Each structure stands twice: as structure tokens, then as C-alpha cells.
Structure 1
Amino acid sequence: MQVQALSFKQRKPFALALSSTLLLVALAACKHAPSPDVMATVNGKDILRSDLDKAYNNYKATQGDAPQDPNPEQADIVRLNLLRQLIDNEILDQTAAKLNLAASDEDVNAQLIELKAPYTAEEFDKKLKQQNMTLDDLKLQIRRKLTSDKLINKEIESKINITDADINSYYAKHKSEFNVIEPQYHLAWIVVTTGATQQAGSLQNNKGTSDADARKKIQIVRNRLTTGEDFGALAMNYSDDPNANSTAGDMGFISESALQQRDPATLAAISKLKVGQITDVLPVYGGGGPAQRASGYAIYKLIGREPAGQRELNNPSVQQNIRQGLRQSHAQLMQIAYIEMLRDDAKVRNYFAEQILKQGSR
């Protein structure tokens, strides 16, 4: 087959297309690789090695007295998971900024004042040093938590509507669950532990907290309760319960036998309360009960008390319990889906993951 030569008019667009292609290739070749200190980018915003190192060191601080350091592969698995969290945090921050939902300096300072309240200035500085944190680190942690809460409240929580029909349907399918064979106590608590715990946006990373420190902190909280401060607000700010932020310390209903097994003295103190009253400071024990040394201290509030028997749907506590449970499960599902959607829309580049794959293929 004879190939015809291109005419001048035909050659001109071909030449332009070829030159454009070569230009793109040249630009791609000239594009500099990111700095080795950049672990990932989110819509052009860098996440640095120092950010990941800090998250990893904080993670190790929450592991207590681990028997040995993880091997390099295990450490990198942890780092990849932490980097995923940092990427998600950055996506949420950028989304909140677009929607004008970023926490203000006033919001951050108000939360900081709450966190400082149980401590002297020297104790507060010591707490920060124990956690290898600066004041700016803590402010950033607070800002991100408050910003995330505002975003989720607007985009998720405000759009959830649990109807009476939803509650009726749930009760009809789970009626047997509301046939209680023993008395139940609806409780809230504020707990301060002496072990290693961590709660975002607070100083609740208590690795190395002594028994005396825990006693002092819980007693300060108890004193503030006696002056009329809100139990739920204090629980969110000072409790080491990881669910305190979302539940305001609400433990739900706990059976009498479960409390007895936990600690007879705790059951005895709670059984003397009237609805709305709080206990004195009580010790908290591990799985072995009072035979073990106290792992922390708690204050309990009695929200309600229910006798044994079938709980009917017209019982306000039944409706509240179902509504709260449905709302929490729906919010959790929607939040996961929302973050996945935001991640899909974001331009993310994970250089650390690419580096691991590249090294592993050699």
C-alpha cells in the first residue's frame, strides 16, 4: 500500500499537536518531586513528616507500658492509619472553612480555659510536657475538634429526624428487649483514670497520672458540681470516658446485678440516691473488682430508676432510649458516608504509601 505524503495544510495541525504533546511531556519531566518531608497532600495542602511523627509519638504514649517496640512493618502500618486520619482531618478542616464553620479563636480560648481550670499554671505546663505537647499543639487539637463538631452538627446531626413511626417500628421488633428481669439504673458518670487514655481536644492523655493526681482532679470536679455546674458539660471536658464527648457522660441503663458485680459499694451508694442526685467520689476497679487496686475515680449521677418488668412503649424513658439509639446509629452511618464522599471529591496524594509500595517492589 502506498502511503501518501501529507500536504502542507495537513502537516500544520499535525505538527502543532506533536509540539503540544512534547511540551506536556517536557513540563511533566520538569515537575519537581515533593520534598521528602511531605507525606501527603490534600488539595495542594501538605501534610508533613513532622505532623505524622507527632501523631505517631502521641499514639505510642497511649499504649502504656508496651512490652517492646513494634517492628518496622508494624510501625509503618500504624503510620499509614494515622496518616489516613490526618488526611481526613485536613479534608474536614478545608470543608468547614468553605462553609464558614471553622472554630473561632473565642471558641478555642473558651475551651482552653475549661481545660486549665482543674490545674495550677505549673501543673498545666507539666501536663503538656508529659504529653510532649506545646500550647499551640493543644490549641490546634481543640480547634480541629470544635471545627469537626460544628461541621458534623450542621451537615449530619441537624438533618437526622427520628419519627414516632421509627420508634414504634423499633419497639415492635424488639419488644422482648424491654422486658427487664431486674431493676435498672439510668446513670451518668465522670471518671478520671490513672492509666493511659486519650480524648481528642482535651488533656485526657493520662499516661503516668498518679493516684494522687486523679484524686485531686476528680475532687475539683465534684466541688464544681456542688456549686451547680452542669454535669454533662463537666463530663465532656474532664471525663476520661472516650464516649463522654458524644454522650455527656450518659451510661444508659445498667442492671442491678451488673453494678453489684462491678463493686457492691458503688451499688450501695447509687441505690441511696434520688433521681438527679450525685454520689461522692468512688473508686473504679478493673475486671477483678475491689480485689484489685483502683484504676481511677468516678462520680455517678442517677438520671432514672426502673423496676423489673415489661417496659411499655408509652414509657417516656423507653421512647427516649430508642430515639437516642436510633439517632446515634444513624448519625454514625451518615458520618462515615459523608467523610467517604468528601474524600472522593478531594484531590489526595499519599506519598508515604507510594514510597512503601516502591520499596516493597524492589
Structure 2
Amino acid sequence: MRGERRARAAGAWLLLAALAGCGAQPPAGDEVWAEVNGRPILRSQVEKYYQRQVGLQPEPPTAEEIQARKLAILNELIQDEILWQKAAQANLLATDGEVEARLEELRSTFSPEEFQQQLTAQGMTLEELKAELRREISLRKLLDKSLAAGLEVSDQEVTDFYEQHQNRFRFLETQYHVAQILVTPRPEPQVRNLKNDDAASDLEAQRKIQALLTRLRAGDDFRELARNYSEDPATALAGGDLGFFAESSLAQAPPALRAAVQQSVVGQVVGPVRTPSGYHLVKLLEREEPGQRELADPSVQQTIREQLLAHKRQLLEAAYIERARNQARVANYLARQILESHRVAP
């Protein structure tokens, strides 16, 4: 799970880039490649996103591969434009406050310099980014409201799923759910805690970790201290949550850290533990022993319910988007050009 938050942020940049400029009027020399209820989607929008993707390919694509990829990008933009128009009609467009909150969430995963580098790499200004965040939030609000009635999971559905997939809830070894606060004995180029707090030497690190331990013993919340002071860029903003580790995977951890986890009681904070990375305060959030998890276990029920909800949402979103597309007036001029260039009859 380390780096999952950053991966999600990187994925958000790609999504926002894909949405950039939907509904704009064509400038001189540009070409309309599609229309959705009379609103144009331009060739330049598709080309801009395609150029970001082509550099990731190991070898040059064929002419047909290029056209196929651009057609797929255009279809994504058509879909987003359809949903944007429906969100506007339903008065579900994002507010300024929602946009600013999402922007701060995106910023928090990067240093100021990295954030600007991301903007530059995507060829976007801050105002363009805000506009696309507004679009992203609006589409999510539309889908959330439209699908809410269908996103229910009954107790019987949970029971049926468990009966059919009991092997998924049989653990072969102990699982540890761990959180940490890390303080490093050197200046870090990327500090992403909320206080931007960074120990610059071993002495400063020792003083800082002891001060944090004192606050924990006085009753301060571990998660909030991690968010404010941990120097692990991958987990600080997630409250230090490292996720679950199987017993066998702990063999890769430094011996002192491994012992701290294995010997901890759930809810206990252990440390400081010294490793080559720095000083750690470790908290064991959960311990799952080997064996079969029964349906009566609340965590099993929650896991099943979340999986079923995710599957239902995926299905309903696909059906909703398909219906919305059928209801819209869509003209895909690029598809027409491709067919004509290959002499495919109407």
C-alpha cells in the first residue's frame, strides 16, 4: 500500500488531462472530430492527450494503432461530455468549495515544485486544472445521485457471497495491520506532512521522536501526529497507515522493526525503533490469526458488502452511461473519416 496514494494522484493527472478542454469552441485551423448535442470536441484535444501516451510505448505504433488509440480517446471525451451536460441539467455542477478541497488533496501528494512540474508536464495552467477538477467532481456527483437507489446490498446477498467464496476468508498465516511515524536523521527532499516538519540531523531526529512519544503517552492521536510530523512521504498523509503484512513478508523488514510488530499488542505503540531509515514509532492496528473467518465476523461482512457494492456500481455505471449515450445526439466525425478512408460503405 506504500505509494498507493501517490499512484492515485498520478492517475488523476491523466484523467484530468483527458478531460481538458471539452466543449471548447474550435480555434482557427483546428478540426471538429465529434459533437455531443451540438457541442464540439476538437482534434487538438485528442492529439494533446495522445501525445502524452505515445511516449510511454516501447516502440513506434503502426498507422492503424495510432488511429485506433485516437478513436478510443475521442470516445472517452464523448462520454465525459455527455455526463457533463447531464450534470449541468440536474444542477449538480461542483461548487467552488468542492473544487478547492479537491485541489488541496491533489496538491498534498506533491511538493510545490513537483506540483508545478506536473502542471507543466501536462501542459495545463492552474485555472485549467481547476476547470477539469470541477468537471471530474460534477460527473461523480451525477453518478452518485443517479445510481444511489440501486447501490444496496442485502444481508442475503452477503450470505450467498460468503457461502460461494469461503476460501477467500481462510488465512494461511498471520496478517498484521501496521501504522508508523518515521523521523529521519537527515534533511528529506520530499517532506509531505501537514506541518512540513523535517529533522535535519540525528540529534534533531532523536529529540523529535522522543517528543512525539511523550505526546502519544499523554493521549495525542497517533494518526494525527503522523499526518503532522511523520517524514515518510508515502504514508504521512494517510496517518502512517502501512496496510496489512503477511507474516512471511515481515522477513524482509529490518530485524528490530520485525520484532516490534510481531511482539506488539493491538493498539500498542512501540518504539522508538532504530533502522537504517531512521527512528520509528510503530502501532499495531490489527492482527489476523491464521484460520477460517466466519460470516459472523463484522470485518468479513464489511469486506463482502464493499466488494458487492463495487461490482454493482461498475455494472450500473456502464449501463447508465450507455443509456445516456443512446439519449444524446452524437456525431463522431473521426470514425466517419476512418471508414471512408478504407472505402467502407455507409
Q: TM-score range, shorter-chain basis?
A: 0.5 to 0.7
Report deviation, 1:358: 0.9
CA contact (8 A) 2:87 2:139 kept: yes
| 2:170 alignment partner AA | N
* Aligned pairs for 1:122-271 within 5 A: 123-157=114-148, 159-186=150-177, 216-218=190-192, 228=224, 255-257=246-248, 259-260=249-250, 263-265=252-254, 268=258, 271=262
Structure 2 partner of 1:329: 311
1:39 matches 2:33: yes
Task: Give the fraction of aligned pairs with identical amino acids, expressed as a percent.
Answer: 37
User: Quick one: structure 1 residues 122 and 172, their matched pair in 2 at CA, closer, same or farther if it must change by over 3 Å?
Assistant: closer
> What's the TM-score, normalizing by structure 1?
0.62
CA contact (8 A) 1:128 1:135 kept: yes
User: Quick one: structure 1 residues 326 and 121, their matched pair in 2 at CA, closer, same or farther if it must change by over 3 Å?
Assistant: closer
Structure 1 partner of 2:339: 357
Structure 1 partner of 2:44: 50
CA contact (8 A) 1:41 1:350 kept: yes
Structure 1 partner of 2:214: none
CA distance in 1, matches of 2:37, 2:305: 38
Show CA shifts across 1:311-345 (max 9, x none). 11111111111111111111111111111111111
Show CA shifts across 1:272-292 (max 9, x none). 776578999xxxxxxxxxxxx
CA contact (8 A) 1:118 1:217 kept: no
CA contact (8 A) 1:186 1:305 kept: yes
Structure 1 partner of 2:17: none
| 1:56 alignment partner AA | Y
CA contact (8 A) 2:191 2:197 kept: no
Unaligned runs of 5+ in 1: 1-34, 190-213, 232-237, 241-247, 281-299
Deviates further, 324-333 or 110-119: 110-119
Report deviation, 1:302: 6.0
CA distance in 2, matches of 1:112, 1:78: 29
Report deviation, 1:98: 1.2
Report deviation, 1:150: 0.8
Structure 2 partner of 1:293: none
After superposition, the CA RMSD in angstroms is 4.2
1:74 matches 2:65: yes
Task: Count residues in correspondence.
Answer: 271
Structure 1 partner of 2:12: none
CA distance in 2, matches of 1:76, 1:359: 12
1:340 alignment partner, one of 314, 322, 330: 322
Question: In structure 2, the residue corresponding to 1:325 is in which secondary structure?
Answer: helix
CA distance in 1, matches of 2:264, 2:189: 22
CA distance in 1, matches of 2:197, 2:266: 19
Question: In structure 1, the residue corresponding to 2:71 is in which secondary structure?
Answer: helix
Structure 2 partner of 1:94: 85
| 2:36 alignment partner AA | V
| 1:319 alignment partner AA | Q
CA distance in 1, matches of 2:163, 2:247: 26
CA distance in 1, matches of 2:291, 2:304: 17
User: Quick one: structure 1 residues 158 and 188, their matched pair in 2 at CA, closer, same or farther if it must change by over 3 Å?
Assistant: farther
CA distance in 2, matches of 1:318, 1:351: 50
CA contact (8 A) 2:226 2:240 kept: no
Report deviation, 1:71: 2.6
> What's the TM-score, normalizing by structure 2?
0.64
CA distance in 2, matches of 1:151, 1:188: 35
CA distance in 2, matches of 1:279, 1:346: 59
Structure 2 partner of 1:207: none
Show CA shifts across 1:138-158 (max 9, x none). 123211221121112111245
Show CA shifts across 1:190-231 (max 9, x none). xxxxxxxxxxxxxxxxxxxxxxxx960555699699672898
User: Quick one: structure 1 residues 49 and 265, their matched pair in 2 at CA, closer, same or farther if it must change by over 3 Å?
Assistant: farther
* Poorly superposed stretches of 4+, deviation over 4 Å: 117-123, 186-189, 217-227, 248-254, 269-280, 300-303
When Rg is computed on C-alpha atoms for both structures, the one with the higher figure is 1
Question: In structure 1, the residue corresponding to 2:224 is in which secondary structure?
Answer: coil
CA distance in 2, matches of 1:149, 1:277: 39
